[in-house]
Amino acid sequence: MHLLPNLTRPCRAGPVFLAILAMAMVPAGVRADAPTPAQGNAPAKSGRADDPEGILNMDVDQLAKVNVQAPALNVETTSMARQESTVGRTAGAIYVITQEMIQRSGALNIPDVLRLVPGLDVAQVNSHTWAISSRGFNDEYADKLLVLIDGRIVYSPLFAGTYWDVQDVVLEDIDRIEVIRGPGGTIWGVNAVNGVINIITKKAKDTQGALVNVGGGTDYLDREEFRYGGQIGEDLYFRVYGKAFDHSPGFGDGADWWHQGRTGFRADWEPDKDKSNVFTFQGDYYSGEAGYNSGMDIPVPPFRTTIAGDEGVLGGNLLAHWKHIISDDSDWDLLTYYDRADRNYGVFWDQAVNTFDIEFQHRFPLGPRNEITWGGQYRQIHDDETTFPFALNFEPPSRTTGEFNMYVQNQMTLVPDRLFFTFGSRFDQNDYTGFEYEPSARVLYTPDKKQSWWAAISRAVRIPSRLNANGDITPFAPEPLPYPPPLNQEFFRFEGNSSLLSEDLIAYELGYRAQPDPKFSYDIALFYNVYTQLTALQPSSYYFDQGNLILPFLTVNGGNAQTWGGEISAHYALTDTWRLTANYSLLEWEFQFAPGDIPYVFDLPGSNPHNQVQFISSWDFGRRLQFDMILRYVDSLPGEILYGFPIDGVRNYTTMDLRLAWQANKHLECALIGRNLFDYHHQEFNELMGLYQSQVERSVFGSMTWRY
């Protein structure tokens, strides 16, 4: 059996890329005499937006009023340390997608919005399924990326990863999306190994009035959104929303149509005049169906049957958040939520997951040079699985697991306004691997107001999923077999292991950011990751099940890996009305497995492109017309032979998105969006299990948005 012959392919672009970055990281000292335009729709009227030193000295409330484009040093962020800061004061590889960037991208869903992030690999598997990962290990079930919406973790505990088809909000209600490339376990906990995506929606106070958005096209056949925000009394603001869409099938599989509807609310209450207490209540409910066409293995002839039907989803959540402000440098938060998610794959699989989570966090100063952030969290997850047991089986079929953790982090000022040292750790007790710890240490150096250097070393862990620990998957085995005993058919069986340890990462990072000119900023991040105890498959002795030969592979901790590379992003305001962005990322890898072991079925090497390039142009024609272009190149994915199965490679592709928007008046906007315009269709990912894949097609979409 021929297994992954090219896991240690030498780096081709790495030395050149590192040399370019080394030259780019030399601080620039040029500063233009001309003032900077605000990088939004209109010039800034306050806050000295034309002065980078003035911008960098603003507090967070002032910064929120300045319309700029990420990742300039002054953009607000909270995800790296779970406290208010700016990109320039963050010791980590963070990228912020603002509301303006979302609007001007022309994206119609969150995965397409995330394509804006350098170093994030976003690949569409079919019309309603995406593989999204940071710095390697991409898959439909990318298990090393943690995703949150308003503090609610949406990472699935079953296969591990995120079901992107049910992560949806009204895009105009998103305040920003903060993406950490690299480990975030100290602050966010287990499974935040390669990155964290933190989706933060707007306060209800900022979404007052009515919004109606309707549109349709060749991809999203129709799409409707409604949102209304109001006020009760002087201190209670609310909004309610509803949205629905009908999506056409992708190219190559006419079964993967998709439609879904959802509704929800948010209310923010500030009962005190000094705003010292803020209460937030919000919830969502969704229901939908998607078509699928998949093979299922059965123990009797014909041994494999095709299942074509509806994949139903149903779920909802309720969240409550209390923030108490003690002083300018001290506050605490209490967050709790309940989440219910159901999925049904017809006769193949029915799953239900209930999650309860409660978390407390406290921030306070300790002397003049230390700021302490500490907290604790408890999460309980109960799932029920009904499956066709020969093809997929969970034992036990229902399980309740708990996780308790505490964390503490100290930001120490070594030299005021110049040198900062942040260190801390999270301590976790879970029902899969027991005790875990995730320390990190970060250094930030800001020699002046226009640049910052940072370096970090961190440990992060991924705990086993329910499938890793308690599940079996049975696909066909390849032909020919090494021995032909009398049998009906031959099958592989990937068996779970309740004794698995956590996957371990030690990450080394270095970065530099600069805004040498008010019109120009750039951000560079380099990384070297060392993984141990990666999940692998170990062959065991064969046996028979219902007269069929079973070749079992036990899930074990049998793999190690190193990945390295970097990302660079640059933003330039060419004129008052024309802004340019360029992104480039490089990823290289090397895997090693114990003798006889092979990669896990959802954790394959070679599932990420080595190179990605993106160029973005945003141009305003007067006050009423906007023209946006996104040009991107994604490198090829190599083909391999795994478990005796050939895995076809994916060709590199270059494509372009365009958006033309007309502001008819202060209430009405019309937009025409073209996506993937360079070819009729292209493939972006090849899922090993062969689950209802299709290709991404060229599409056109038109919309009208009414705001009042």
What values do phi and psi take at 205, rounded to 5? -60, -25
Asked if residue 209 lies in contact with residue 231, where contact means CB atoms within 8 angstroms, the answer is no
Tell me, yes or no, whether 531 lies in a domain: yes
Provide the pLDDT for residue 82.
Answer: 83
Q: Are the CB atoms for 268 and 279 separated by under 8 Å? A: yes
Mean pLDDT of the chain: 86
Average pLDDT over residues 389-403: 92
How crowded is residue 541: how many other Cβ atoms within 10 Å of its Cβ?
7
Q: Tell me the average pLDDT across 72-86.
A: 85
Query: So what's the pLDDT on residue 71?
Result: 57
3-state secondary structure of 260: strand
Q: Per the domain annotation, does 2 fall within a domain?
A: no
pTM (two decimals): 0.89
Q: Is residue 8 part of a domain?
A: no
Inform me whether the pLDDT recorded for 582 exceeds 90: yes
Q: What is the pLDDT of residue 562?
A: 96
Contact between 182 and 507 under an 8 Å Cβ cutoff? The reply is yes
Give 305's pLDDT tier (boundaries 50, 70, 90). confident
- Which residue, among 570, 584, 452, 453, has the nearest Cα to 520 in the 3D structure? 570
pLDDT at 3 exceeding the cut of 70: no
Task: Calculate what percentage of the chain has a pLDDT beyond 70.
Answer: 85
For residue 691, what pLDDT band results from cuts at 50, 70 and 90? Answer: low
> What was the pLDDT predicted at 547?
84
* Boundaries of domain holding 561: 14-707
CA 183 – CA 117 distance, rounded (Å): 16
Name the amino acid, one letter, at 634.
V
pLDDT per residue over 274-285, tens digit each?
889 999 999 999
Q: Comparing 100-104, 252-256, 602-606, 650-654, which segment has the lowest mean pLDDT?
A: 602-606
Structure confidence at residue 38 as a pLDDT band (50, 70, 90)? very low
Taking residue 654's Cβ as centre, other Cβ atoms within 10 Å add up to 12
Torsion angles phi and psi, residue 607, rounded to 5:
-95, 5
pLDDT score of 487:
56
User: Is the pLDDT score of 564 beyond 60?
Assistant: yes
Q: What average pLDDT score do residues 79-108 get?
A: 92
**115: Cβ–Cβ under 8 A, 6 or more apart, which residues?**
105, 107, 122, 614, 630, 632
β 490-495/548-575 pair status:
parallel
Q: Is residue 495 domain-resident?
A: yes
Residue holding tokens 């609610």? Answer: 152
Q: Does residue 681 register a pLDDT over 70?
A: yes
* CA–CA dist 522, 71 (Å, integer): 8
What proportion of the chain, given as a percentage, has pLDDT over 90?
A: 68
Q: For residues 432 and 401, is the Cβ–Cβ distance under 8 A? A: yes
Q: Which one, of 128, 123, 125, 155, lies nearest residue 260 by Cα? A: 128
Q: What is the pLDDT of residue 479?
A: 57
Is residue 1 assigned to a domain? no
pLDDT of residue 575 exceeding 50, the answer is: yes
pLDDT, tens only, 317-349: 999 999 999 999 999 999 999 999 999 987 678
**Confidence grade of residue 689 (pLDDT, cut at 50, 70, 90):** low
The structure tokens listed for 325 are 């402000």
Return the pLDDT at 646: 60
Per-residue confidence (pLDDT) for residue 26, from 0 to 100:
40
In the three-class reduction of DSSP (H, G, I as helix; E, B as strand; rest coil), residue 468 is classed as helix
Place of tokens 């049910």: 166
**CA 640 – CA 642 distance, rounded (Å):** 6
Evaluate whether residue 503 is within a structural domain. Answer: yes
**Residue 247 corresponds to which tokens in the numbers above?**
């999506």
Q: What is the pLDDT of residues 343-372, one digit of tens each?
A: 998 767 899 999 999 999 999 999 999 999
Helix ranges, 225-322 (H): none
- What does the alpha-carbon distance between residue 189 and residue 440 come to, in Å, rounded to a whole number? 12
Beta bridge partner(s), residue 377: 359, 405
Which pLDDT value is given to residue 490? 85
Residues written for the chain: 708
- pLDDT tens column, 157-169: 898 899 999 999 9
- Can you tell me the mean pLDDT for 44-67? 39
CATH code for position 65: 2.40.170.20
Does residue 53 surpass a pLDDT of 90? no
Instruction: Annotate 82-120 with b (16+ C-beta within 10 A) or e (fewer).
Output: bbbbbbbbbbbbbbbbbbbbbbbbbbbbbbbbbbbbbbb
Q: How confident is the model at residue 28 (pLDDT cuts 50, 70, 90)?
A: very low
Q: Which amino acid is at 240?
A: V
Q: Please give the Cα distance from 262 to 29 (Å, whole number).
A: 51
pLDDT tens digit sequence for 610-628:
999 999 999 999 889 999 9
Which residues lie below 8 Å from residue 683, measured CB to CB, with a gap of 6+? 650, 651, 693, 695, 696
The answer to which of 104-108, 449-453, 637-641 has the lowest mean pLDDT is: 637-641
Are 642 and 599 in contact by the 8 Å Cβ rule? The answer is yes
* Cβ atoms 524, 511 nearer than 8 A: yes
pLDDT of 696 strictly over 50: yes
234: left (phi over 0), alpha (psi -120 to 50) or beta: alpha
Say if 4 falls within a structural domain: no
CA–CA gap between residue 347 and residue 384 (Å, rounded): 15
Supply angle C-alpha 71, 75, 77, rounded to 5: 105
Structural domains in the chain (count): 1
| Nearest partner of 630 among 100, 104, 216, judged by Cα | 104
> Is 396 a residue whose pLDDT tops 70?
yes
CA distance 185 to 94: 15
Please write the tens of the pLDDT for every residue from 113-155: 999 999 999 999 999 999 999 999 998 889 999 999 999 999 9
Q: Are the CB atoms for 440 and 461 separated by under 8 Å?
A: no
Cα 683 to Cα 161, 191, 258, 342, 699, distances in angstroms: 22, 28, 19, 29, 15
Does the pLDDT value for residue 380 go beyond 80? yes
Q: Which of 422, 416, 411, 425 is nearest to 365 (CA)?
A: 411
pLDDT at residue 607, rounded to an integer: 84
- Would 3 be classed as within a structural domain? no
Range among 344-358, 452-466, 643-657 rated most confident: 452-466
